[in-house]
Amino acid sequence: MRVVLDSKRRLTVPVSLTATAPGDQFDARFDAEDDAIVFRRVAAASDWLTVLKDCPVAMDDLPRRRRVLPRRRKL
């Protein structure tokens, strides 16, 4: 199936190709070997605990946050 870029540089995916809804988020990457753009759907609602467990850096290794509020800059 071909998808054509319109004058406003948008791609429209037919409904018959995939079940999507307005507001779905996708990760777009360009594959130089295949000269193709690859779209992957990003999980809409992810559990924060699962994301925390998948984090490659342990929470103990992160720098501590400052307790002092930032100063307002005079412009």
User: Cα–chain-centroid distance for residue 33?
Assistant: 23
pLDDT tens, position by position, 14-32? 878 777 878 888 888 999 9
Report domain extents, the chain: 26-61
- For the chain, give the longest Cα–Cα distance: 56
- pTM listed for this prediction: 0.45
Tens digits of residue pLDDT in 52-73? 777 777 777 777 777 777 788 7
Instruction: Give CA 55 to chain center in angstroms.
Output: 16
